[in-house]
A and B are shown apart, each in its own frame.
Chain A
Amino acid sequence: MPKSLVRSGGLVVLGVVFLAAGSYWGLAKAPAELFMGDVQRIMYVHVPTAWNAMLALTFSFVCAVCYLLTNSWKWDSRLEAGMEMGVVLSILLCIQGSIWAKPTWGVWWDWDPRLTTTAVMVFAFGAILALRASVEDPARRAVWSAVSCIIAFVDVPVVYLSVKWWNSLHQAQSSPETV
């Protein structure tokens, strides 16, 4: 058996073992939360999803920069893998968040900065996957997705900041004119 197949097979087995152990721990072993009850258990999967989504998209940003510097196909493949993971995890993040929000907040969606930024992220990086799908020339596809990945990644903090202001600035705040 080739070495790489053994390695990736081992990773899959390890993943399944961790998934089973984590599910048992979160669903059976941990006690129910005092106020929210069993609903809170979603956090055991929601928070890691959020971390891994951020990690995957940050990884693809690093790959994008490395691709533009080295022009090596390795980085393009890693970028695609990282971005697909990041988009799938961000979509899952929104779905899990909605499942949690309905029983606790009473609504499926709230225009909270973190939620809104995640939704924008899904569309921004999902669009790059759509761009990849419609470019045949592999060299152009690699450069263009690296370029758009860098732009989208740089944009995310600005989106977060603007949504945060949008959500809070309409409440009365003190300024030299009002004090």
Chain B
Amino acid sequence: MNHLLVALRKDLLLQWRGRAQVIATFAFGAAALLLFSFAVGPDSAALREHAGGFLWLGLLLASTLSLAESFEREMEERALEGLLLLPASPRGLYYGKAIANWANLALLGVALVPIMVVLYDAGTPRLFSLLLVILLGTAGLSAPGTLYAAMTSQTRARQTLLPLLLYPLVVPVLLAAVKATSLLILGDPMGQLRPWLVLLGAFDLIHWSIGALLFARVVED
């Protein structure tokens, strides 16, 4: 537990010091949201209907940038090898990194919401539920994303491999988060929000547990 907190503190500090990168990732996500509206055309009804999908696609595209960046830093000056020499458990290192990435992505998601509201006229009065969807969805991106970033950051084709491995895996997150966000924006007369939140929660539970189990094997050698 103590290892986890120290690792988390280290990763949050790294992200704070590299906040220019966080802002650049946000700018990338916002630019993606702007571009999606050009793909659909200035039809405000269609834009509003697909706003949830656009938000999550923008977030997904931006997430690979920040996930990859979080391990790029560990590769500089062989920092990861140094970390593994410390008497810290790999599990603590994994959770520290994954929670820091989660915080980063959740912040990104929250920051992209006003852009979505302005560009697509897609607001919702249920802000607390929207925050819950963003938290559960970004948790689902960060757990497998952190594990795969640890692997791909050490390979040749890392810019291609991380999204290639991660995108098919997070299809359930994308589906559930898009559905839940759209229900919040367009109204939910049938009360369908809950099953999607349960699905997100189950996905998170599975990946946050197997991620920690497998991470030790990924970084050992």
Residue of B151, B176, B221 near A131 (CB, 8 A) is B151
Q: Which residue in chain B gives the minimum CB-CB distance to A147?
A: B214
Measured CA separation A178–B189 after assembly (Å) = 8
Q: Does A169 lie within 8 Å of B191, measured CB to CB?
A: no
Stretch of A11-19, A80-88, A119-127 that contacts chain B: A119-127
Residues on the B chain within 8 Å of A144, using CB:
151, 218
Q: How far is the CB of B165 from chain A (nearest CB, A)?
A: 5
Instruction: Find out whether the CB atom of A148 lies under 8 angstroms from the CB atom of B165.
Output: yes
The answer to whether A151 and B144 touch (CB under 8 A), given A135-B155, A139-B221, is: yes
> A123 contacts B172, CB within 8 Å?
no
Complex Cα–Cα for A176 and B202 (A): 23
Q: How far is the CA of A166 from the CA of B192 in the complex (A)?
A: 11
Most buried by A among B147, B157, B214: B214
Q: Which of B148, B164, B179, B217 is A166 in contact with, Cβ under 8 Å?
A: B179
Instruction: Indicate if A38 sits at the interface (CB-CB under 8 A).
Output: no
**Which of A135, A146, A172, A176 is the most central at the interface, judged by chain B CB atoms within 10 Å of its CB?**
A135
A175→B190 contact, CB < 8 A: yes
- On whether A134 and B206 interact (CB within 8 A), knowing A68-B217, A147-B217, A151-B144, the answer reads no
B residues within 8 A CB of A131? 151-152, 155, 161, 165
Complexed CA–CA distance, A131 and B162 (Å): 9
Contact between A165 and B199 (Cβ–Cβ < 8 Å)? yes
Closest chain B CB from A175 CB (angstroms): 5
How many angstroms from the CA of A131 to the CA of B144 in the assembled complex?
15
Give the total number of A-B pairs whose CB atoms are below 8 A apart. Answer: 102
Q: Is A115 an interface residue (CB 8 A)?
A: no
- Of the candidates B190, B206, B217, the one whose C-beta lies within 8 Å of that of A143 is B217
CB contacts (< 8 Å) of A152 on chain B: these are 168-169
Task: Identify which of A131, A140, A175 gathers the most chain B CB atoms within 10 Å of its CB.
Answer: A131
Distance of A20 from chain B, by nearest CB (Å) = 36
B203 contacts across to A, CB distance below 8 A: 158
A159, CB-defined interface residue at 8 Å: yes
- Interchain nearest-CB distance for B32 vs A (Å): 21
Q: Is B171 an interface residue (CB 8 A)?
A: yes
Residue of B nearest to A119 (CB): B168
Q: Does A6 contact B (CB under 8 A)?
A: no
Does the CB pair B168–A151 fall under 8 Å? no
What separation, in Å, do the CA atoms of A124 and B152 have in the docked complex? 15
Cβ contact within 8 Å between A176 and B191: yes
Question: Is residue B44 contacting chain A, with contact meaning CB distance below 8 A?
Answer: no
Interface assignment of A177: CB less than 8 Å from any CB of chain B: yes
Please give the distance in Å from B91's CB to the nearest CB on chain A.
15
Are A134 and B155 in contact, with the CB atoms below 8 A? yes
Assess whether B156 is interfacial by the CB under 8 Å rule: yes
CA distance A158 to B221 in the complex (A): 32
Q: In chain A, residues 126-179, which have Cβ atoms closer than 8 Å to a Cβ of chain B?
A: 127-128, 130-131, 134-135, 139-140, 143-144, 146-148, 150-152, 154-155, 158-159, 161-163, 165-166, 169, 172-173, 175-178
**What is the chain B residue whose CB lies nearest that of A133?**
B157
In the bound complex, what is the Cα–Cα distance between A175 and B190 (angstroms)? 7
Q: From residue B57, how far is it (CB to closest CB) to chain A in Å? A: 15
Contact (Cβ within 8 A) B168 A124: yes
- Contact A162/B171 with A131-B155, A169-B179, A172-B190 known, Cβ cut-off 8 Å: yes
Q: Measured between alpha carbons, how far is A5 from B143 in the docked complex, in Å?
A: 45
CB of B21 closer than 8 Å to a CB of A:
no
What are 9 A-to-B residue pairs whose CB atoms are below 8 Å? A127-B161, A127-B164, A130-B157, A150-B214, A151-B214, A162-B175, A169-B195, A169-B196, A175-B191
6 additional contacts (CB under 8 A) given A130-B164, A169-B195: A124-B168, A143-B217, A155-B169, A162-B176, A165-B196, A175-B192
